[in-house]
Structure formats: structure tokens, C-alpha cells
Amino acid sequence: MPYNILHQSLFVLRFRYLSSIKSIVRKIYFGVFGMKVGHHTKLPSIRVTWPHQVEIGDNCQLEPDIFFKFDGVWEKGPSICIGNNVFIGANCEFNISKKIIIGDESMIASGCKFIDHNHDTSAILKEHRGRDEEKEIKIGYDVWLGFNVIVLMGVEIGDSAIIAAGSVVTKSVPPHEIWAGIPAKKIGKRV
């Protein structure tokens, strides 16, 4: 019986209080470098290349090991803009050169990847190739992305759309539609 009480006390201490203190320290640390994190948003262990490029809204829930990668040299930000009440699962990657906007109330499952640029694939020497393509990504209000979804450059996902797990989104998705597959295609309507 005393072992259970000790075990529960350590659990509460570790996951409630210690994680809250670490979150506050991370918010202060990244805030010094320009990251904006909203009220009641806890910041778990994350990786960030340019903190000033990241803006996270209020009441967001982030799981550990998210990678916010602004893929370029220093420039004025933010380029990774996350709305209010957004859930982002573990091991998500934001590989951004231009911009990504995620609307309020959206849910992004673990392992999702967002890539807003494409490299020139010409069969010539690298120094003679053209400039990489960049097009921003827009995720609407109340969008759900399943486990391991990949969203590519120039995609706009409309409000209340759902993308099934493992899908690769290569073109824009209208509001209230359900898409799945590689490449993702419409499979239904959200009611």
C-alpha cells in the first residue's frame, strides 16, 4: 500500500509539476530568440532551427519531438504559424522555406510532415540548376490529419476536411471532404 502511494506521488510530481516547470523554462529560452508561444500552451521537448520563425497560439497541445525546421538562412518571420487550440502529435516535422499556416481547432496526428518546397531535379551540375520551388501550405479551421500524413508544397486544406492516415496530399482539398491514399483523393464527405 505505501509503495502505491509513493509511486503515484512520483508520477504526479514528474508528469504534472516537473513537466510544467520545464515548459516554462523552454518558453522563456525560446522566447529570448523570438519564438511566440500563446497562453496555456505547454512547450515539450522540441527541435527548432530558427525560433523566431515559429508562432504558436493559445491552448495548444504539443507532444514531444516536434521539429520546426525553417529551411533557409535568417530572414524575418514568422513562417510557421499555428492557430489556437491546435493539437500536434509526436515526431511531426515542419520543413518550411516559405510559409505554413495552421488554422484554429485543427488536429495533427503523430508523424505528419509538411514540406513547402521542391528541389530542382535538372540533370545538370548543381551550381547551374534553377532555384528551388517554394509555395506556402495552408491548413484550414478544424482540419484533422491522420497518422503519418505528408502535405506537400502549395496545398490548401479547406475547413473541416479530414485526411486519412498515411496519405500524401499533393493538391488542394476542398472544405468538408475526406481524402485518402497516395496521392490523396476524395473518398467521402464530412457531415
Q: How far is CA 45 from CA 52, 98, 129, 184, in A?
A: 17, 24, 37, 31
Q: Which residues pair with 61 in a beta bridge?
A: 42, 87
Looking at residue 137, its pLDDT comes to 97
From first to last of its 191 residues, the chain has per-residue pLDDT tens of 577 777 777 777 676 778 888 999 999 999 999 999 999 999 999 999 999 999 999 999 999 999 999 988 888 989 999 999 999 999 999 999 999 999 999 999 999 999 999 876 666 676 665 667 889 999 999 999 999 999 999 999 999 999 999 999 999 999 999 999 999 999 999 98
Q: Are 103 and 139 in contact (CB under 8 A)?
A: yes
Cell reading at 134: 517554394
Rounded to two decimals, the pTM is 0.86
DSSP string for residues in 33-77 = TT-EE-TT-B--SEEES-GGGEEE-TT-EE-S-EEEEE-SS--SS
Looking at residue 1, its pLDDT comes to 57
Residue 79 main-chain phi, psi, to 5 deg = -115, -15
Q: What count of other Cβ atoms lies within 10 Å of the Cβ of residue 170? A: 15
Cell reading at 152: 506537400
Q: Cβ contacts of residue 14 below 8 Å, gap of 6+?
A: none
Q: CATH for 2-189?
A: 2.160.10.10
Residue among 7, 40, 117, 119 flagged as catalytic? 119
Q: Is 119 a catalytic residue?
A: yes
Looking at residue 103, its pLDDT comes to 97
Estimate to the nearest angstrom the gap between the alpha carbon of 43 and the chain centroid: 13
What residue segments make up the domains of the chain, in order of their start?
A: 2-189
Query: What single-letter amino acid sits at 59?
Result: N
Cβ density class 94-131: b for 16+ within 10 Å, e for less: bbbbbbbbbbbbbbbbbbbbbbbbeeeeeeeeeeeeee
Q: Within 13 Å of residue 111, how many CA atoms lie on the same side as its CB?
A: 9
Looking at residue 122, its pLDDT comes to 66
Q: Which of 140, 153, 149, 173 is nearest to 71 (CA)?
A: 153
Estimate to the nearest angstrom the gap between the alpha carbon of 95 and the chain centroid: 9
